[in-house]
Every structure is written in C-alpha cells, then in structure tokens.
Amino acid sequence: MRYNPLGQTGLLVSELCLGTMTFGGGDGMWKEIGNLRQEQADVLVRTALDAGVNFIDTANVYADGLSEQMTGQALRNLGIARDDVVIATKVLGPMGKGPNACGASRAHILAQARASLKRLQLDHIDLYQIHGVDPLTPIEETMEALDTLVRCGDVRYVGVSNWAAWQIAKALGIAERKNLAPLRSLQAYYTLAGRDLERELAPMLLSEQVGLMVWSPLAGGLLSGKYHRDGTSISGDGRRADFDFPPVNRDRAFDVIDAMRPIATAHGCSVAQIALAWLLHQKVVTSVIVGARRPEQLVDNLGARTITLSAAELDRLDRVSALPPEYPGWMIERQGAYRLGAMAGEKPQSA
C-alpha cells in the first residue's frame, strides 16, 4: 500500500480508502446500496486495515447516521488505536424535518459535527467535508464555520465534495484573505467512463495542491465487467439493477470495458482491478474510495494496488475513454501551442 499526502498537508492517507456507504441499510436507496450489519462491517474494516488501508470515509446521511455509528463501533470492536486511522465524514444532507436541518450553514455544520463525533465515538474528525453545494449559504459562512471546528480541535482538516472548480477556487481565496482553514481535498466522481473532472477540476486541483478522493470509481459497479451492454447483470445481481447511478454514457462505458478485458486477462486480474488501477496511475488522484457488500469484493478491489499498467495499456485506455473536445479547452490548447512552440524555436502561426 502506498500513502499520499492529503493535498498540501503532512497527513498521509492510503491510496485506497474504505467507503462505508454499504453499512446500515435502511429505507429507500440506502437499502439498495447495502444493508450490512455490525458483524459484517467489522469484517470489512478488519480486511481493509490488514491490507494497509488507514483511511475510512463515511457521512452523516449514510443510512441516517447508522453508517457513522457502525464505523465507530467497528474501530472499538477491533481495538484499533485512534492514531492508526484517518476518519473522514461529511455534512450537508437532511438530518431532520426542519428547514434548517440540512445545508452548509454555520448552525447546521456545528450541530452535525457534534452529532457525528458522538456517533463515531471519537474526540476529533480527521477530515470534515461539505457533502455538496448549498445554493443558499454564502461560501464565507461555510468556511468560517469549518474554521471554528478546526480551531476548537474537533476537526483536523476540511474539504468538500461535488463542488465546481470555481467554487473551490473562491473558497480558497476566502480562506487566504481571512486566514481561515483552507480546503485540503475534494471528493468527486471520476472513472474511465466519466472523465468530466479533467476539464476544469483536475487542472485546478493540481495547480492549488488540493487532494482528490474518488467516489464510485467503478461507476456504480458498471465497470466491474459484470454487466451486458443492455444494462442487465451477467450474474443476475448487482447494484445497478435497482439503483442506476451515477449516470453514464453507456456506449462509451462498454467500449472502455471491451478495452479493459484483454488487459485484465494479460494481468491475470479482474476488469474492476484494471479500472481502479487506471485511477491509481493518475497524477491528480490522492485516494480511491472502495466499498463492498462482501469481503471477497473488497479483497478484489484492494488487489488493484499491485497492478502496474504499461504505457501502451494506459494509452489504449486513454484513447477509448477520451472526452470529446469542448470550448474553451480546444482553444486554450491551440493558442497554448504558441508558447510551447517558441520553446522549441518554432515560428508562431496565427490562430
């Protein structure tokens, strides 16, 4: 297992992170995602830690708080020392029926941080993340609330999930101007079947040294290689059959799967491991979140860390999954050639 700094910090996190969305179950989509009981959660946590994982991600809304509760209890049941794990959780979604029981306001953030600490049975949260965009709360208010948690010791580092590049850049500017705790990470969707993040987010993250945690690296299981092109499962089960998320361009996704199959055969591994290994080869990626319902699924995912893809294999996957050109990207690339060409002594040409 390799370990990477979380953005511009000295905190080292494993390149694979255990996701706990399958813990707890409940009603609605949580039932479809997973309904693991405490004993099963303990096994997954133990399996991940034994493989060198030191990073665990959860959220207050997962199974209405039960995922956090089970995560904290697993650490106690297994006798895990607090300093041996990095615990991340999130806040934003509804945790009650009132109009203020959700969002990224100061009131909701501070209240939910205390509630998460209680459920997790911890004295601090290593990484506290805003789970998405709150269109009503000013970013200044959100950043000041997060800074309060850092200064009082309840939280060590702060991050966001599912934010646009301009919103993260704005938050970083506010933090610098007001001397607030800066954002250290983004949790975002990124797969061979969905590389949209590369348009704006990836360049910004690299420029500002913000870490990237990848959620749903197998596109909701689609890149596991266990589905036909019509979306039906080869084995007759699978999450996508009942919870078709995240949205995917299926033609491109299955072209990617077709390209991954011979590579997986050459490496003697699963298609899922190739999809995960590709992410681990991307410079912008800090950690890839893997979740599972069964220990054997988790073991297979953890095996991705041992796979080294050749330049030819990476090129093949890059070509089949490439995003179509969009403005202003194609114009930036065209005009940027002036300067790059000048370095090589080439005569500039007009646009």
CA angle centred on 146, ends 285 and 214, rounded to 5°: 20
User: Over 70: is that where the pLDDT of 42 sits?
Assistant: yes
Q: What is the pLDDT of residue 349?
A: 67
- In one letter, which amino acid is 147? D
Distance, CA of 11 to CA of 16 (rounded, Å): 15
Q: What is the pLDDT of residue 350?
A: 60
Distance, CA of 203 to CA of 197 (rounded, Å): 9
Q: What is the pLDDT of residue 348?
A: 65
For the chain, report the end-to-end CA distance as a whole number of angstroms. Answer: 47
The burial class, CB within 10 Å (0-12 / 13-18 / 19+), for 77 is middle
Distance, CA of 175 to CA of 171 (rounded, Å): 6
Specify the higher pLDDT residue, 350 or 70: 70
Distance, CA of 292 to CA of 220 (rounded, Å): 11
| Residue 188 bridge partners (DSSP) | 214
Query: Is 36 strand, coil or helix?
Result: strand
User: Over 70: is that where the pLDDT of 13 sits?
Assistant: yes
User: Over 70: is that where the pLDDT of 234 sits?
Assistant: no
Residue ranges of the alpha helices (H) in 209-351? 250-267, 271-280, 295-302, 311-321, 329-343
Chain CA centroid to CA 320, Å: 23
- For residues 301-317, average pLDDT: 98
- Condensed to tens digits (0 to 9), the pLDDT of residues 155-192 reads 999 999 999 999 999 999 999 999 999 999 999 999 99
- Known catalytic residue at 62: yes
- Condensed to tens digits (0 to 9), the pLDDT of residues 131-163 reads 999 999 999 999 999 999 999 999 999 999 999
Per annotation, catalytic residue among 3, 62, 227, 327 = 62
Range with the lowest mean pLDDT among 219-228, 285-294, 299-308, 323-332? 219-228
Distance, CA of 239 to CA of 254 (rounded, Å): 17
What are the Cα distances from residue 219, in Å, to 142, 222, 250?
A: 30, 5, 11
Q: What is the pLDDT of residue 7?
A: 98
User: Over 80: is that where the pLDDT of 236 sits?
Assistant: no
